[in-house]
Structure 1
């Protein structure tokens, strides 16, 4: 892929700045070399700038409007592009087969396509052998400004943010991701009872909700969860994606799920998912979803947010018998409108690359996915 050739290798160790012969420290989240080299003219200065930027994420430093605006922008990109969630609970069982009796031809065709996908990603025995995973990768995120227009917007490469992530999973409801871009860190996870997210900005409260899967799993990382997700889909036709003839599977989120995933200040009006499966290879080539959210305001002037996300997966490689997508590109379009709000549109792009995938990680348990302490205290009270 030409657009991934610029993604550099990952830096995993931090040198001992105080003692030249001291032991290096393993970084919690590997960072791309390009992100590191952009922070100074020499190694010592780069690490010092990195530490200074991370330490700036305190209450007194965030009083600065410039720093606060910068973190709000980075947090927006981290949540909406780097670690979005899907408002569904993927039911994970060892049997992915479903009877096709009493099904419409669209539903039975979708089940057949899913079976071909299972075979293309390694087969059911290989998928069932995966009990947990650890994934490291890197991302580049570009974004436009908000524009008062309905026209297409070209994403400005000058706003490119670079970062890396570490993702842990025990099953679709037990997962955690740590993601850093340009010195700002976000942590998101699910312990099977709630999902939560927070950024390194200490003034930002931890947000929680029902358990739901991370969208990144469905971008070629977790074939078993993807197969379970599309078992209830409908085959609605065919389309050519990157010169590949693909079947289109469509899945609508039910009203009951939308209501359960909604909160006191927002309501999910609809959430639709599409999967484009290659007729030649059986693999998932493109994954799309569209969501309409109504935000309630104190003045009863509701604001609507419509988000459309499209991910193209490439570079499938086998890891322990499971065929995993190792790179791709995601494009996000956000449209905000309402009776008392002017129409605003924004476009974002994420180029991502998977560095390492390890299955069946030793020592992972439910305790490895506990939410932050203040969330735990609320659950106990």
Structure 2
């Protein structure tokens, strides 16, 4: 039985193309055949829903990746949801320098203020009292993805389409410092697998195959939204404090980190140019905990006729239900709202797609016996060819 499971989990060779965050455009392979990439998901979503009452339609079973009785609307909803919310990455790498050892002399006030806020956050989560860091972590939880609603504006009128029905699922996350993690997310019977060995970040989906991320190695967003306070602190180690803002009933300090120009340029691919990627963390003044996080990712796609289309993906997460796990406060519940906004450089037309994720943590275990770096080895096709693809 064990050998049969291993055979079923074996990776099939797939073409290695860059992991893009958000919707993607179609590209052509060397033989001239158009192959689907992640930007194409939202285009196909629009095509599927545009002229269908109520957002549903009949669909041939031979064309569906999800079974014989699944409508194209549901199929595209699931693909877009998993493509955007499955495994987004943070904008910058985690700092290698311990936050407690940063020197704040002769640095801007905004940076030194952020440093003290992060120190308070580490104290509030209990990390400051930890004599030794956990070597690894196992987390499991449940998710519910709510399908998309899209607003289409033509300049004269606005039309909304899509449904708000949801799909339940679950995820398992393994992490080992520094920078190694493995994620399996299954929703509606369909799975996204992603991981990092500390050098290469990769993702596998049934419709895109295996992809590697370009640019600097960055952490999984799901890890820094309350699951690993030390990684969150490392991400905001050199943040700027923008001031204060009220989130719900909490007055919060707002910290900002952003990818620099050289880093985002490394993530460009073909006609897609990454303009910016910024992350904001909202830390409660009362508790010191991270209660909200929002990042914005803007990409410009150039077309052959010199018209530019912009895609802005905004992901905001409410984080709460902190519970003590071996002396560390871990967030056990949250809600994420993602918006994909597509607009042209001069046109009045735009589209705005909204989707949601509700998540709850069931189990967190530190220092799992037997977990080693061998558990985070990428699939063979990624491992063998990444050196020729990565810049």
For the 8 Å contact 1:187–1:199, the answer to whether it is kept is yes
1:227 equivalent in alignment to 2:233: yes
Whole-angstrom distance in 1 between the partners of 2:93 and 2:150: 32
The Cα RMSD (Å) is 3.1
Q: Name whichever of 325-334 and 73-82 sits farther off.
A: 73-82
For the 8 Å contact 1:92–1:225, the answer to whether it is kept is no
Match of 2:323 in 1: 317
Match of 2:224 in 1: 218
For the 8 Å contact 1:165–1:179, the answer to whether it is kept is yes
Aligned pairs (5 A) from 1:106-125: 106-125=110-129
Aligned pairs (5 A) from 1:138-149: 138-149=142-153
Match of 2:261 in 1: 255
Of 349, 353, 358, the residue aligned with 2:365 is 358
Aligned pairs (5 A) from 1:157-306: 158-171=164-177, 173-201=179-207, 204-210=208-214, 211-306=217-312
The verdict on how the C-alpha distance between 1:336 and 1:65 changes in structure 2, with shifts beyond 3 A counting, is farther
TM-score (norm 1): 0.77
Report Cα offsets for 1:277-308 as digits up to 9, x if no partner.
11111111111111101234455443211011
- Tell me the SS of whatever aligns to 1:103: coil
Whole-angstrom distance in 2 between the partners of 1:124 and 1:100: 18
Q: Name whichever of 308-317 and 291-300 sits farther off.
A: 291-300
Task: State the shift of 1:153 in Å.
Answer: 9.9
Whole-angstrom distance in 2 between the partners of 1:160 and 1:172: 35
For the 8 Å contact 1:313–1:325, the answer to whether it is kept is yes
Whole-angstrom distance in 1 between the partners of 2:368 and 2:241: 36
Long gaps (5+) in structure 1: 1-15, 17-24, 29-57
Of 327, 332, 353, the residue aligned with 2:333 is 327
The verdict on how the C-alpha distance between 1:83 and 1:100 changes in structure 2, with shifts beyond 3 A counting, is same
The verdict on how the C-alpha distance between 1:198 and 1:302 changes in structure 2, with shifts beyond 3 A counting, is farther
Whole-angstrom distance in 2 between the partners of 1:153 and 1:238: 36
For the 8 Å contact 1:127–1:322, the answer to whether it is kept is no
1:98 equivalent in alignment to 2:105: no
The verdict on how the C-alpha distance between 1:172 and 1:107 changes in structure 2, with shifts beyond 3 A counting, is same
For the 8 Å contact 1:295–1:302, the answer to whether it is kept is yes
Q: Say how many residue pairs are matched.
A: 325
For the 8 Å contact 1:313–1:328, the answer to whether it is kept is yes
Long gaps (5+) in structure 2: 10-60
